[in-house]
Amino acid sequence: MGNKLLRIKNLEYTLPHINQKALDNISLDVEDGDFIVIIGHNGSGKSSLINAINKNITSSKGEIIFNSKPIESFSNKEYFRSIATITQNLKECLFERLSVYENFLMRFEKSYPKNNEGFFYDMTTHYYEKMMYMKDVMVTRLSGGEKQILALILALINPPKLLLLDEHTSALDPKMADYVMDMTVSAIKEHKMACIMVTHDLNNAVKYGNKIYALKDGKICYYSDKGDGISKEELIKRCF
């Protein structure tokens, strides 16, 4: 039994303008080294859950506990150093009008500017060599896949304890999606992070997740810790 990194207890969130519950009594534990996959149809509350963990929305009921302290008690700096998010919408993870290297610099705390260059080359050669030659290119000029890889590399500069992935491969072509997914998984193993992944790709869900949660209308409608060796077809039947 690993250490409990994140505990979500009876979380509820009501959408303010339509008075409808986006999250309804959600409870979920994340332990060290977990790879949790969350699936569900559109509007089932997956992104709301990620947003709640990310402090983007305030829940109306229930609590989220990180490292045995409620998340409200953390300062932003502390909290977002331990939790990194990569979403499909890259505008949330990148400074698009800054160059690739300047995006790196934004993640460093103090030492600035020249001694970081070596670190930049180390990181890029380790994960994606092509990025090395794009040092001064503005992020808007990168392709979707490159942006996604950059967002991942940036998140790994100060490796977080928990990585949140919100459909981060869904806008990529199959080959690039596989590449990004492999890279993500190897990084997770390398830095021993826990991960919560929201996805529509059931192949990935079955392949990588050690716990699978399915959401429906804001409630957890199915849970598997993979002991039952569930297949993709079975998952579709049960969850959609």
Partner 1 sequence: MQGVLDVFLQTFTLVPLVLAIYISYEVMKITDLTVEGSFVLGAAVYARLIIEAINPVLTFFIAILAGLMAGIVVGCIQRHDKIDSLIAGILMIFMLYSINLQIMGSPNLTTYNHETMLTYISYAFADNAGFIFAAFYTLFCIVMVSILLNIQLGLRIRAYGDNKHLLYRLGCNPEKYRIIGLAFSNALAAGSGALTCQIYGFTDINMGFGIALTAIAAWLLGVQTMRKMFRFKNFSVKIDCMACLLGALLYYSAVTFLLKIGVNPINLKLLIGLLLVVLLKIMSNKKRKPWEINS
- Residues 85, 162: contact at Cβ < 8 Å? no
- 17, 68, 114, 136: which one contacts partner 1 (CB under 8 A)? 136
- Residues 21, 13: contact at Cβ < 8 Å? yes
Three-state DSSP string of the chain: CCCEEEEEEEEEEEECCCCEEEEEEEEEEEECCCEEEEEECCCCCHHHHHHHHCCCCCCCEEEEEECCEEHHHCCHHHHHHHEEEEECCHHHCCCCCCEHHHHHHHHCCCCCCHHHHHHHHHHHHHHCHHHHHHCCCEHHHCCHHHHHHHHHHHHCCCCCCEEEEECCCCCCCHHHHHHHHHHHHHHHHHHCCEEEEECCCHHHHHHHCCEEEEEECCEEEEEECCCCCCCHHHHHHHHC
Q: Which is nearer to partner 1, 39 or 156 (CB)?
A: 156
Residues that bind partner 1 (rule: CB under 8 A) add up to a total of 24
Spell out, one character per residue from 48 to 77, where the chain touches partner 1: x when CB under 8 A holds, - when not.
Answer: ---------------------------xxx
Told to check if 132 binds partner 1 by CB under 8 A, we report no
Q: Which is nearer to partner 1, 137 or 183 (CB)?
A: 137
- Least separation in angstroms between residue 68's CB and partner 1 is 22
Q: Which is nearer to partner 1, 77 or 175 (CB)?
A: 77
Told to check if 137 binds partner 1 by CB under 8 A, we report yes
Rg for the chain (alpha carbons), in Å?
18
- Least separation in angstroms between residue 136's CB and partner 1 is 6
Q: Which is nearer to partner 1, 2 or 144 (CB)?
A: 144
Q: Which is nearer to partner 1, 101 or 208 (CB)?
A: 101
Told to check if 173 binds partner 1 by CB under 8 A, we report no
Q: Which is nearer to partner 1, 55 or 200 (CB)?
A: 55
- Least separation in angstroms between residue 89's CB and partner 1 is 11
Residues between 76 and 115 that touch partner 1 (CB under 8 A) = 76-77, 80-81, 91-99, 102, 105-107, 112-113
Q: Which is nearer to partner 1, 138 or 221 (CB)?
A: 138
Nearest of 168, 129, 189 to residue 38 by alpha carbon: 168
- Residues lying near partner 1 in the complex (CB under 8 A) are found at 75-77, 80-81, 91-99, 102, 105-107, 112-113, 136-138, 141
